[in-house]
Structure 1
Amino acid sequence: MPNVLSKEEVKLILNAHSNIKHKMMLSLIYSCGLRCGELLALRPIHIDSKRNIVLLKNSKGKKDRITPLSPKILEMLREYYTTFRPTTYLFEGQIKGQPYDDRSLQQVLKQALKKASITKPVTLHWLRHSYATHLLESGTDLRYIQELLGHSSSKTTEIYTHVSTKSIQQIKSPFDDL
């Protein structure tokens, strides 16, 4: 079963950094359900602000897919872009034109967890799992979630039905009728 954070925990993590690049990277992973490698491979041309989508090229399984881009994230991206002016990759490391290092991104998450006082062993992939579960809990059809995550098999996406607590929370205990 995938590990999932509550919306409150996600908010704490995303708001932990004052550094706009760090905040932007974590926010984009969660808001689009990205894998770490997908985020680091993004180029500015993959952001379609007219259609509010992110184009993901050569994702897992060498597939391309699109994911919706939140208007709030687009606003943050514009601010980030104005500040950093990335050339080749959307998130560049110390050397201009080179992608941000995945180990550095993991450190960014670790720092956010510390600042947010979250002691769970959270990984970047937990943000993707949380995105999928939160979509399911808000009523998004499993088939759409499968498309958004780029899963070939619906079986892969169905794991999120096991961690979604919305339906479980609606069940009334027979104890309450005693």
Structure 2
Amino acid sequence: TSDSVYLFPSERQDHMFPTAIQKVFKKWAKRSGLPARYSIHSCRHYYASALLRVSKNLRLVQQQLGHSNPSTTTVYAFALDEEITEAVEKL
């Protein structure tokens, strides 16, 4: 329903489960001609990397992904390595 608190509400239950969302995503990705390597997880990873690249704020990325432990989010810090090198070279 339009007033649901869930991003992916279900017609039969309150919400869709992750496996169901992944199945729907794969179906539509295939119909759209996207390579099979794309997944919900790869989209989430891209979002986190892009957010970090734009914001330079690892804490923000942690909050957006819902990571309770900051060390879980540090996997995305590699996205800044090249930009850090470029910035240092400009000094």
Matched, 1:99 2:15: yes
**Percent of residue pairs identical:** 29
Q: TM-score, normalised by structure 2?
A: 0.64
Q: Which has the higher contact order (CA 8 A, sep 6+)?
A: 1
Matched, 1:139 2:55: yes
Task: Tell me which amino acid in the other structure corresponds to 1:162.
Answer: F
**CA 136–101 in structure 1, closer or farther in 2 if over 3 Å, else same:** closer
More strand by share: 1
Q: 1:98 to 1:157 in 2, by over 3 A?
A: closer
CA gap 1:102/1:151 in 2 versus in 1, 3 angstroms: closer
Structure 1 residues without counterparts, runs of 5 or longer: 1-79, 172-178
Q: Does 1:124 align with 2:40?
A: yes
CA RMSD, Structure 1 to Structure 2 (Å): 3.3
* 1:140-162 deviation per Cα after TM superposition (whole angstroms, max 9, x unaligned): 41122222223233221111122
Task: Find out whether 1:156 has 2:88 as its counterpart.
Answer: no
**Letter of the structure 1 residue corresponding to residue 19 of structure 2:** R
- How does the TM-score come out when normalised to structure 1? 0.38
Question: How far apart, in 1, do the equivalents of 2:55 and 2:17 lie?
Answer: 35
Q: State the alpha-carbon separation in 2 of the partners of residues 118 and 167 from structure 1.
A: 29
**Kept in 1: contact 2:25–2:39 (CA 8 A):** yes
User: Separation in 1 of the partners of 2:10 and 2:60?
Assistant: 33
Shift of residue 136, structure 1, vs aligned partner:
0.9
Q: Is the 8 Å Cα contact of residues 62 and 70 (structure 2) preserved in structure 1?
A: yes
Contact 2:53–2:79 (CA<8 Å) still a contact in 1? no
Greater helix share, structure number:
2
Give the Cα–Cα distance (whole angstroms) in 2 for the partners of residues 143 and 160 of structure 1.
Answer: 11
Alpha-carbon contact 1:142-1:157 (below 8 Å) kept = yes
Helix, strand or coil at the partner of 2:62: helix
Contact 1:137–1:165 (8 Å) recurs in 2:
no
Q: How many residues align?
A: 87
